[in-house]
Amino acid sequence: MVVLWLVLPAALGTFFLGVFVWAVFEHFLTTDVPSALRHPAKFRFLHCIFVYVVTLGNIFKKIGVCSLLRFLQFLQKSVRIKEDPALVVTNLRFGTIPVRLFQPKTPSRSPQRGIIFFHGGAALAGSLDIYHSLCGSLARETDSVLLAVGYRKLPDHHYHTISNDCLNASIHFLKTLGTYGVDSSWVVLCGDSVGAGVAALISQILVGRLDLPQIRAQVLIYPLLQIINFQLPSFHQNSYIPFLTQKFMITCMFRYLLIDSWWDAIVTGAFIPPKVWKKYRKWLSTDNLPNRFKKTGCQPVFPAPFNEAAYLENKHLLDVENSPLVRDDEIIAQLPEVFLVSCENDMLRDDALLYKKRLEDQGVPVKWCHVEDGFHGSLMLFDKKSFSFPCSLKIMNAIVSYIKSIM
């Protein structure tokens, strides 16, 4: 028995070390590191940790311990939250939706700014705890009341849940702004990645709602705005750059949208009927990108020859709910002003650029912050000290400055 207790820790240590070595090898074999990125060694280390966690989750799934998603949930629950003495933080529920309210502790004589924040995480990661520091900093630095929405996601919830939860939470908050001391003429929708796409979608849905306060502005941080054209230049240039690779993004998308196959048909656009592409091309074509962002060399034919079977099984990919970038001009023209953040080394870069053009073409005021050394998810590292990047602080400072400027 004594020997067993001596051998077991050594075996576990060898196992975890072996998995980490495998993660390092996988990183170097499959990952691109942007040449413009500052602190590449730090970037590599963080991605090795990311690959290590995912690999452990996949191993636990194969041996029957738990699924990868349950493993990620377990890790997220272990995040430690640091209290901010300048804020009052309250956990609430709007029906079945968990939310977290951040309010400046110092009383205000007049109603304050309001921010509704939707976090990213590819529908499987991200949580109120993981985004606690970011949301607290936004509330404190902009002197705003911030509502963070903890929408339900994978593995228990799928398509429609995220947008429905975020919309319902937003409507509830907008109807009760006075309760939280928020100025009804000054509410901003904000989000990153998937959350930014949801912010754009909700801004569109709320257009013309006379029973609710009007949204003052949108802050969209490297947003996911369409899942129709996967052949844009940024998808090719950045498909192997952490922390959003093509494989990871499409895998998460398939799980959330309950898609079992048709990977090639979706990536190449073969599931898109010619009539649909004729309508969407004016908004989703590479021709709409500034020349400096277009990929040089031979461009793939898009969409590929139409596959009707792929369309019949995956036509929900074409829903405006999944791709707010293709909303009709009549709605786009009525949107509140937008602050767009894009990163050069991000697969979703061109989503932001295409939406910028759509908004500007319809007369919507747009302020654009493009971060040359930025990468997807970099904002989350803004306060991580030795693991932060210059681009992380640049994005955070730009957002704070913008929100304070539009009072």
Tell me the catalytic residues.
193, 346, 376
Instruction: Extract long-range pairs of 6-9: CB within 8 Å, 24+ residues apart.
Output: none
Quote the CA–CA distance of 74 and 61 in Å, as a whole number. 14
Per the CB < 8 A criterion, the answer to whether 200 and 220 are in contact is yes
Place of tokens 């576990």: 12
Quote the CA–CA distance of 295 and 102 in Å, as a whole number. 43
Residue 145, SS3?
strand
Quote the CA–CA distance of 82 and 349 in Å, as a whole number. 32
* E strand or H helix at 201: helix 194-205
Per the CB < 8 A criterion, the answer to whether 99 and 92 are in contact is yes
Residues 312, 318, 321, 323: is their CA dihedral positive or negative? positive
Reference 129, options 138, 119, 139; nearest CA is: 119
